[in-house]
Every structure is written in structure tokens, then in C-alpha cells.
Structure 1
Amino acid sequence: MNFTFLKAIGSSRALLLINGCADNSADKDGNGVIDSKERAAEMNYDAFIPMKAGLWETKVVFDDINVPTLRKAQKQQIMDAVAKSASSQSCLTDAEAKKPGADFFGGDGAEKCVYKAFDVSGQTVNMKLSCAMEGMGTVDMALAGVMGETEFIYDSKVDVRLPMVGTVAMKGKTTGKYVGACPAS
């Protein structure tokens, strides 16, 4: 199986979360898409609680996948591969910890995704985004959870839409924790 779609999900740092009633207050122009300026304004507006600067470790575990045509072992293999790709370590500078970029929550490349919902209020994070996968389809993510100065936990819902396969739907949890100072460069 080709795991190119892992890059669209990969390096996920703080999120693959689900929220049934996300607040779309960030969509100031009402066009249904929350652009980078609207996401930045949302981070400033809703009293984001700063994270601790330093090295953060993110782990993703999927516990459910819906692909009727695959056997249980194949499903587990896909969930494990996506989780491994999405798990990561990343360093936050002092400035980033006070106001991380909105793409921090969606992983590498998330700044190119289309955000349908984006709400960061204090310790609560809710968002929905859709990311194109270089001619292969799309990844839709719904992210919801809580974060604090040194840890976060999110419920995750990921739908990978592949032209020849259909939708691969996965659910799980993403956890993150501060692990110490960033390594010297």
C-alpha cells in the first residue's frame, strides 16, 4: 500500500481532534474558510494559554479504522503506520510557545490546508481542516481537546479520501508533553 497520504497527516504535533460543535467565530468574513490572518487573530483574541518553551513529544494512537475490504491485521498495520508518521518531537522557541503559529496544531504543511473551523479558547482547541494530497485525494481532520502549559490531549478523527479506495476513516487520541530543553543545534 502506498503511504504517500502519511505526509499530509505526518508530523502532527498537537492534534487530530474531533468536535461536533466547533465555534466558527474565527471566520470573520463568513466565507466558510478560515485563512491564516483569521487564524492568527483567533490566537490573539481568545486568550491562548502559553505553552512551555522547549522540546515537545507528540504521540498518536488510533483505535478505530473503517475500511470494510481489509482484514483486521491490515487495518492495524495502517493505523500503526499513520500513527508512527504523525508522532514526532518538535522544539518551541520562547516566542512560539507564547503564540504558536496556527499550523503548529495541524503539523507540517498544515498552513496549506483549508480550515473550516478554528477555535482556540484558553486551554480548549477545536478545529476542522482539509488538506490536498498531491493528486491522490484529500485528508479531512477534525480535532478537539485540551492543552496546558506542559501537556495536551486531543480526540482525533481523520478521513483519508483516496480516489480508487474511497474513504479511510480513523479515530484515536493524540497526546503531547513537554520533555525538557531543546537539544543544542
Structure 2
Amino acid sequence: MNIAFLKAIGSSMALLLINGCAENSADKDGNGVIDSKERAAEMNYDAFIPMEAGLWETKFVFDDINVPTLRKAQKQQIMDAVAKSASSQSCLTEVDAKKPGADFFGGNGAEKCVYKTFDVSGQTVNMNLSCVMEGMGIVDMELAGVMGETEFIYDSKLDVRLPMVGTVAMKGRKTGKYVGSCPAS
């Protein structure tokens, strides 16, 4: 046999083994939903970069909305309402900053969301979740991006299911940044 052929087979086998081992689903029980215990385990499993302890501000900024039946002002109202609902301020303690709760990245009420994908590996984050927005409908979100000690930025894709309107597709960015010390309580 020729050496090039053996190298090609060896490379193919190595890729298959790597891909097989790379499956790192946080859904350990295989039910299609990643619960809070599975999210916490995922945060402990991978090489998470610790964050700065203190006050963090998260915001959504939307740059695209697809709903042909609405006028520009109505589209902007929807983007503003979703951005406001999904934006928040959170205080991370020293302990939380080393391993923030898995729901820290999703915004207000994220602990009630249903997570279908949750992967945090070092500085890379990939999430897919569905959340009920009080008085608005249901939001299906995909977040993918990077994070560091004092900020994070995720590309965001949202499908907002609104009563009477239908599904509104939105694209934008979720950002988070450390803004200083937590207010005294």
C-alpha cells in the first residue's frame, strides 16, 4: 500500500474519532430540554473564563425585523419592547463571577426559559432557548458569540410569536458589560 493512502485513511479516522468525542451535549438525559442542573453542570464542565465581579448591564440591539404587514413605526415599537424586556442589570458576587449562574446570560426571567442548546466553552457561547414574555407572547432565541472578563457580545436571532400578529423574526446583538461596583443593599 502506498504511504499517501495510509495517511489519508489515518487522517479520516482521526477526524471521525475527534468528531465523535466532540459531541458535548449539555442535555445529559436526552429529553430535548436542558434544565438548570444540566446548565450548571455545563458551566462546570468546560473551561469557563471567570468574569469581573460587580454590576453587569445587558442589552439587546436589533438591526433587522421581518414582518411585512406592519409599518416602520410598529416594527420599531416591537423591537423596542423586546429589547426592553430582554435587557437587565445583574450583580455578580465574587463567587458568581467565577461561575455565573447559567441563566445570567438570558436576561430578566431567563430562569423560566426552556433551553434546547447550552454550550459554554472558554470564551465561546452558544444557546438556543424559548421564553414566555409576560403580556407579549413567546420568544425563541439563538445566541452565539464570545465573552470575556468585562464584556460579552452575541449575535442574536429571535422569533417572537405574538398573538394577533404571528411570528416576527428579528436579528441583532446581545451585549453585556461590566459597569462597576454593585450598589450597597
Q: TM-score, normalised by structure 1?
A: 0.81
Alignment of 1:10-49 (within 5 A): 25-49=25-49
Are 1:98 and 2:98 matched, yes or no?
Answer: yes
Q: Distance in 2 between matches of 1:161 and 1:77?
A: 15
Change (3 A) 1:24 1:33: farther
2:63 corresponds in structure 1 to 63
Which structure shows the higher helix fraction?
2
Aligned residues: 163
**Unpaired segments ≥5 residues, structure 2:** 1-22
The Cα of 1:24 is off from its aligned counterpart by 5.9
| Rg larger in structure | 2
Change (3 A) 1:136 1:91: closer
| Higher RCO (Cα < 8 Å, 6 or more apart) | 1
2:9 corresponds in structure 1 to none
Q: Distance in 2 between matches of 1:24 and 1:164?
A: 39
Q: Distance in 1 between matches of 2:137 and 2:58?
A: 26
1:165 corresponds in structure 2 to 165
Over the residues paired in the alignment, what is the CA RMSD in angstroms? Answer: 1.8
Q: Distance in 1 between matches of 2:89 and 2:110?
A: 16
Asked if 2 retains the 8 angstrom alpha-carbon contact of 1:52 and 1:178, the reply is yes
Asked if 1 retains the 8 angstrom alpha-carbon contact of 2:63 and 2:171, the reply is yes
Identity of aligned residues (%): 90
**Unpaired segments ≥5 residues, structure 1:** 1-22
Q: Distance in 2 between matches of 1:76 and 1:42?
A: 36
The Cα of 1:26 is off from its aligned counterpart by 0.5
Asked if 2 retains the 8 angstrom alpha-carbon contact of 1:24 and 1:117, the reply is no
The residue type equivalent to 2:32 in the other structure is G
SS at match of 1:77: helix
Alignment of 1:141-152 (within 5 A): 141-152=141-152
Are 1:88 and 2:88 matched, yes or no?
Answer: yes
Moved more, 170-179 or 130-139: 130-139
